[in-house]
Structure 1
C-alpha cells in the first residue's frame, strides 16, 4: 500500500470511529495500524503483497491474524475500508462480519494542526 492510500484509508476509518493510524514499517513500506482492545494492534497490508491481510500483535508478539481476503487484490479504497471495518478480531484467526458495525463518534484526524508539517507538505 502506498503512503497516500494508507493515509486516506486511516483517515476514513477514523471518521467511522475506528482508531486507525498509518503504519510506517520500513523504507517505503506503509500500511494501516488499527488499535484494538487489550493492547493488541492489527497491522494491515504492510508486506507489499497484492492481497489484503493483517497480523494481530500484542507487545511485538503475533497473537492472531486475518487471512488474505479473497478478491482483495483488486479492491478499491472503499472496499478496503469496508473490509477493515467489518473484521471481527475476537478469535486468533479473525473473520469478516457480513455487515460492518454501526459507526462510532469520529476520531480527530491524526496530526491535527501540524499534520502538513509532519508530512513535509506532501499530501495529495
Structure 2
C-alpha cells in the first residue's frame, strides 16, 4: 500500500471511531496499524503485496493473523476500510463478520495542525 492511500484509509477508520494510525514498517513500506481494545495491534498490508492481510501482535509477539482476503487486490479504499472494520479478531485466525459494527464517535486525526509540517508536505 502506498503512503497516501494508507493515510486516507487511516483517516477514514478514525472518522468511524477506530483507533488506527499509519504504520511505517520499512523504507517505503506503509500499512495501517489498528489498536485493539485488549492491547493487541493488527498491522494491515505492510508487506508490499497487492492483497489485503494482517498480523496481530501483542508485545512484539505474533498472536494471530488475518489470512489474505480473496479479491482484495482490486478493493477500493472504502472496501478496504469496510474489510478492516468487519474483521473479528477474537480467534487466532481472524475472520470477517457478515456486517460491520456501527460506527463510534470519530477520533481526532493524528498530527493536528502541524500534520503537513511533520510529514514534509508529501500529500494533498
TM norm structure 2:
0.98
| Number of the residue aligned with 2:103 | 103
Q: What secondary structure is seen at the aligned counterpart in 1 of 2:38?
A: helix
2:70 paired residue number: 70
Deviation at 1:49, TM superposition (A): 1.0
Report the CA distance between 1:38 and its aligned residue: 2.1
Gaps of 5+ in 1: none
Aligned residue for 1:69, secondary structure, equals coil
- Match in the other structure for 1:94: 94
- Please tell me the root mean square deviation across aligned C-alpha atoms, in Å: 0.6
Superposition deviation, residue 122 in structure 1? 1.5
How many residues end up aligned between the 2 structures? 124
Alignment TM-score, normalising by the size of structure 1:
0.98
**Is 1:46 matched up with 2:46?**
yes
Please tell me whether residue 24 in structure 1 is matched to residue 24 in structure 2: yes
* In 2: Cα distance, 1:98 partner to 1:111 partner: 34
